[in-house]
Chain A
Amino acid sequence: MVGGPAVALHGLVKRYDAKVAVAGVDLEVPAGTFFGLVGPNGAGKTTTLRMATGLLRPDAGTVVVDGVDVWRDVVTAKARMGVLPEELRLFDRLTGWELLTYNGLLRSMAREVIDARAGELLDVLGLREAAGVMVVDYSQGMRKKIGLACALLHAPRVLFLDEPFESVDPVSARTIRSVLQRFTAGGATVVFSSHVMETVERLCDAVAILHAGRIVAAGPIDEVRGGRPLEDVFVQLVGASPDAGDGLKWLGSSSA
């Protein structure tokens, strides 16, 4: 794929009975960028990413990843993308090493390639010592890291990560950031969702703000920010909550 966007979403819609989770998302993610999808809880970030990765069928709209229509040629499209879902459910009675091998074999990779890449990923992500431990015994940060390793194993062109830094300690978060930066430096694309503006500002080249199932702002991060902190722009676009300063005056006054 040369020249075109890495990810193109057009008119993406998903309804759950009467509730519209995603109400017509149009978005283009340039190739080789670190792209942040931000929005408050319930904005439709996870639903959008699941539709973009072929895990959830949209009611309407198209998804093109690396030039391949995801819902027309699902196998080719999935071969070009890596996924790390938010609620990271894994076959956690496999060891880290077995889980990586499983993912590699699912994608028809050769055993030698799987072994070599899995070893490198485990080293870089600091999981080498826990390679023979069942994933069910991993901490949340370790689970995210082994999930990331599985998503990277087949060297995808586009990586979709749903809340990759949620519940992750600062050390693991730094490791994940460093791996992702190395990934995009090689020309690949990362699309990740988050509601931590600081992380998005620090990592992303471009950002889209999703609110109530719609994109309310998108573009290069400096353009979206307009010289202000991203959090201020975000709060302004999605609507600020009432000031909580007047209540709870008793907090901190206990002498018991």
Chain B
Amino acid sequence: MARVLLRLKLRLLWAGLRTGGGRGAVGFVLALLWSLVAGVVIGGLFVLARTLDARPATDATAIAFAVVLLGWVLGPVVVAGSEGTLESDRLALFPLSRRQLMPGLLLAAVAGFGGLATVLILVGAVIGMAAPSPLALVTVAAAACHLLLCAGLSRLVTTAISGAVRTRRWRDVALFAGPLLGLSVNVAIQVLTRAAIPTEPGQPGHAAGLVRGIATVARFFPSAPAALAIGYARAGRIGLALLSLVAAAALVVGVVALWGRVLDRVLTSAGTRGGRLRGEARRPLIPRWLPFLPANRLGAVAAKELRLTWRDPRQRAALLAAMFIGFVPAFSLRVFTSTNPRLALAAALPAYALASTATNQYGYDGAAHWTNVAAGDDPAADLGGKNLARLVITAPFVALLAAVAVWRASSLAYLVPGVALAAGAFGMNLGFADIASVVAPLPMPDNPSNVFSAGNSGRGLAAVGPTLGVLFGGLVFSAPLLIVLLVTSSPAVLSLASMGCVLWGAGGWWLGFGYAVRRSLPRQPELLAALSTRAT
């Protein structure tokens, strides 16, 4: 049975190469390259670590083993269903006992890109850390224990969550958690890199202290006994090395035993959870905390947009991406630390970003837009409601940046110009975005594998192109007023330029919105048809 499951896993990998057109092949090659690079680089670092003292070498091993283990545990959680055919609850259909399944599933877990990277890392660890003595056997055994621990713990987690991963709630969280995890890793790397740079010439960076702190945390991970066994063996401390090895082996046995119990439960219990849906709460569509939303079509669309922006992981991700565009420059300009009063003008950044990314306002409605079309064509209310929702989302961020800048500078001089510039940028760019929304509507996929993606390959530019156009066009159109605000400090000129910004934004929005409404009013069936093409 182990051979059958191993062959099944290898066939799945091979099928991944051939399916999905070019995308499958590209994904396969990228995953292979990533595994090889990660394995060779980290394994190579272990080889280079031969020269390190005992303590830093053990620290490095503890950290590396903890990172590898985290990858094995979190990988299946955030990429739920990546190995669907080998999910335990699907195997429940076959007349197989857990004793028949477990060796094969364990072997299949190792036979993959993660397994390849881990084996390369462990080979590097053995070469770099093994002492030239019989204690090298302890190093090899500890590395093997770590591999088994990774595979066993990964299987334990995937088995335990195998039923839940197919629920809507889990998918919602996982879709968002994957990219966020990637972002967190990126931020962590940047923090470490910055810490390694000396704050003053001739002074050491903080990296060494940071690494020591991380190693202390890593020693509490289940991967620690194997790492410590390798460290002690390298230092020639035979007693502690053997004790750590026994602990590592015991941990593997414990994890595998627990996995067996969980597997038993999954194989012998119902895969789906029934039960009646309950939720009588009559929560009003229009939130009470937004009393200014009118109880009509405009307010209904705005309220729907606001609720869906929070509840739909795709829209949450789009908002996060827009915030990223808006706030990264604000951080770069040091809005949160500088005392320059002109930085209140940075309040326009989130307005600029959130309006510019609204170039596909019907995209998330998709075919559900029939609800609005069937209720009678009123694109002014539909698009107006969407615009209003965007304003409600944007305003607090503008207020936050303006307030922080004013507080840091202890000056109100640029508060009005900052807010006026935000209004100008928002109006002008939203006007452009409204036109793009009705001229080039693009249905967004219902069940994307990545909430930050535009769906099928080849759609990326179609999705991002209008946003880039509005980002650039809005900047060009607003540049004269922005320059005036940046170069002058005369209150009179600032007041005039502020008024200009508001009028400029209002005019831009009015023209763009008006054109979008006039264009889409007689074309609602065509808009619906464009939104109803299946997006995958």
A residues touching B (Cβ–Cβ < 8 Å)? 53-57, 74-75, 78-79, 81, 83, 85, 87, 89-95, 97-98, 101-103, 105-108, 111, 128-134, 136-138, 142, 150
Q: How far is the CA of A150 from the CA of B371 in the complex (A)?
A: 9
Q: How far is the CA of A78 from the CA of B282 in the complex (A)?
A: 28
Q: Which residues of A contact B277 (CB under 8 A)?
A: 129-130, 133, 137-138, 142
Asked if B377 and A75 make an inter-chain contact with CB atoms under 8 angstroms apart, the answer reads yes
Those of B362-377 within 8 Å (CB) of chain A:
365-368, 370-377
Decide yes or no whether B464 CB sits under 8 A from chain A.
no
**When chains A and B are docked, how far (Å) is the Cα of A232 from the Cα of B300?**
49
Given contacts A55-B528, A91-B308, contact A108 B371 (CB under 8 A): no
Note all chain B residues with C-beta closer than 8 A to A85.
Answer: 370
Residue interface mask B292-315, A partner, CB < 8 A = 1:
000111011101100110011000
Given contacts A89-B366, A129-B278, A134-B311, 9 further A-B contacts (CB under 8 A): A55-B525, A95-B279, A97-B282, A98-B283, A101-B284, A107-B376, A108-B296, A128-B280, A129-B277
The answer to whether A54 touches B374, judged by C-beta atoms less than 8 angstroms apart, is: yes
User: How many Å lie between the Cα of A68 and that of B525 in the bound state?
Assistant: 18
CA gap between A94 and B307 in the complex, in Å? 7
Q: Is B99 an interface residue (CB 8 A)?
A: no
Taking CB atoms, residues of chain B closer than 8 Å to A83 are 370, 374
Q: Distance in Å from the Cβ of B494 to the closest Cβ of chain A?
A: 42
A89 touches B279 (CB 8 A): no
Q: 3 smallest A-B Cβ distances: which pairs?
A: A132-B279, A105-B300, A132-B281
Q: Chain A contacts of B283 at CB under 8 A? A: 95, 97-98, 132
- Judge whether B200 is part of the interface by a CB distance below 8 angstroms: no
Q: 13 interchain pairs (CB within 8 A)?
A: A57-B525, A74-B377, A93-B311, A94-B307, A95-B283, A97-B283, A101-B300, A107-B375, A129-B277, A129-B279, A130-B276, A132-B280, A133-B279
Given A93-B308, A103-B371, A107-B375, A130 and B299 contact (CB-CB distance below 8 Å): no
Give the residue of B278, B299, B368, B373 whose beta carbon is less than 8 angstroms from that of A55: B373
* B462 at the binding interface (Cβ < 8 Å): no
B53 at the interface (CB under 8 A from A): no
Give the complex CA separation of A89 and B534 in angstroms: 12
Instruction: Evaluate contact between A102 and B300: CB separation under 8 angstroms.
Output: yes
User: Nearest residue in A to B314 (C-beta to C-beta)?
Assistant: A93
Residue B529, interface by CB 8 Å: yes
Complex Cα–Cα for A85 and B528 (A): 13
Point out the residues of chain B lying under 8 angstroms from A131, CB to CB: 279-282
> Is B285 in contact with chain A by the CB < 8 A criterion?
yes
Tell me, in angstroms, the Cα distance from A57 to B526 when the chains sit together: 8
By a CB distance below 8 angstroms, the chain A residues around B529 are: 56
B288 close to A (CB within 8 Å): no
Q: Assuming the A-B contacts A54-B525, A131-B282, are A111 and B375 also in contact, with contact meaning beta carbons closer than 8 angstroms in the complex? A: no
Contact of A129 among B168, B280, B282 (CB under 8 A): B280
Task: Please report the C-alpha to C-alpha distance between residue A133 and residue B277 in the assembled complex, in whole angstroms.
Answer: 7
Is the CB–CB distance between B299 and A105 below 8 Å?
yes
- Measured in the bound complex, the distance between the Cα atoms of B366 and A132 in whole Å is 23
With a cutoff of 8 Å between Cβ atoms, the chain A residues found around residue B276 in the complex are: 129-130
Q: A133 to B278, Cβ gap below 8 A?
A: yes
Report which of B282, B295, B526 forms a contact with A105, defined as CB distance below 8 A: B295
Cα–Cα, bound, A133→B282 (Å): 10
In the complex, which residues of chain B have a beta carbon less than 8 angstroms from the beta carbon of A107?
A: 375-376
In contact, A130 and B285 (Cβ under 8 angstroms):
no
CB B523 to nearest CB in A, in angstroms, measures 9
In the bound complex, what is the Cα–Cα distance between A138 and B375 (angstroms)?
23
Query: Once the chains are docked, how many angstroms separate the CA of A87 from the CA of B282?
Result: 27
Closest to A98 in B: B285
Interface hits, B238-294 → A, CB 8 Å = 276-286
Which residues on A sit within 8 Å (CB–CB) of B526?
Answer: 57
B371 in contact with A90 (CB, 8 Å):
yes
Residue among A78, A97, A106, A131 with the highest chain B CB neighbour number at 10 A: A106
Q: Which residues in B have their C-beta under 8 angstroms from that of A129?
A: 276-280
> Out of A78, A93, A97, A132, which one reaches B374, CB within 8 Å?
A78
Contact yes or no, A75 B279, CB < 8 A: no
A156→B375 CA distance, assembly (Å): 11
What is the CA–CA distance of A105 and B526 in the complex, to the nearest angstrom?
A: 23
| Bound Cα distance A108, B297 (Å) | 7
Q: How far is the CB of B375 from chain A (nearest CB, A)?
A: 4
Nearest CB of A to B510, in Å: 24
Q: Which of A79, A87, A89 has the most CB of B within 10 A?
A: A89
- Other-chain contact of A87, B312, B367, B374, B525 (Cβ < 8 Å): B367
Cα–Cα, bound, A54→B375 (Å):
10
How many Å lie between the Cα of A102 and that of B286 in the bound state? 9
Bound form: Cα–Cα A150–B301 in Å? 16
Q: Which residue of chain B lies nearest to A147 when distances are taken between CB atoms in the complex?
A: B371
> Which of chain A's residues have a CB closer than 8 A to the CB of B279?
95, 129-133
The interface residues of chain A lying within 8 Å CB-to-CB of B281 are 95, 97, 131-132
Q: Are A136 and B168 in contact (CB under 8 A)?
A: yes
Chain B residues whose C-beta falls within 8 Å of the C-beta of A92 in the assembled complex: 368
Q: Which residues of A contact B297 (CB under 8 A)?
A: 105-106, 108
Contact B304–A94 (Cβ < 8 Å): yes
For window 356-399 of chain B, which residues contact chain A by CB distance below 8 Å? 365-368, 370-378
Give the CA-CA distance A103 to B276 in the complex, in Å: 25
Q: Closest CB-CB distance, A201 to chain B, in whole Å?
A: 29
Distance in angstroms between the alpha carbons of A176 and B453 in the assembled complex = 39
Given the complex, which residues of B lie within 8 Å of A57, measured CB to CB? 525-526
Q: What residues on A are CB-neighbors of B365 within 8 Å?
A: 91
CB distance from B172 to the nearest CB of A (A): 9
Tell whether, in the assembled complex, residue A90 and residue B368 are in contact, meaning their CB atoms are under 8 Å apart. yes
A106 touches B280 (CB 8 A): no
Contact of A78 among B284, B368, B375, B532 (CB under 8 A): B375
Across the interface, name the chain A residue whose C-beta is closest to B309: A93
Q: Is the CB of A102 within 8 A of B525?
A: no
Shortest B274–chain A CB gap in Å is 10
- Whether A91 lies near B371 (C-beta < 8 A) is yes
Chain A, residue nearest B382 (CB): A106
A107 and B299 alpha carbons, distance in the complex (Å): 12
With both beta carbons as reference points, the residue of chain A lying nearest to B381 in the complex is identified as A106
> Which chain B positions have C-beta within 8 A of A55?
370, 373-374, 525, 528
Given the interface pairs A74-B376, A128-B280, the reply to whether A91 lies near B285 with Cβ below 8 Å is: no
Q: Which of B277, B366, B377, B525 has the most CB of A within 10 A?
A: B277
Q: Which residues of A contact B280 (CB under 8 A)?
A: 128-129, 131-132
Complex Cα gap A55–B530 (Å): 12
Complex Cα spacing A95 to B304, Å? 11
CA–CA, A101 and B304, complex, Å: 10
CB of A22 to closest CB in B, whole Å: 15
- CB A15 to nearest CB in B, in angstroms, measures 14
Most buried by B among A79, A91, A103: A91
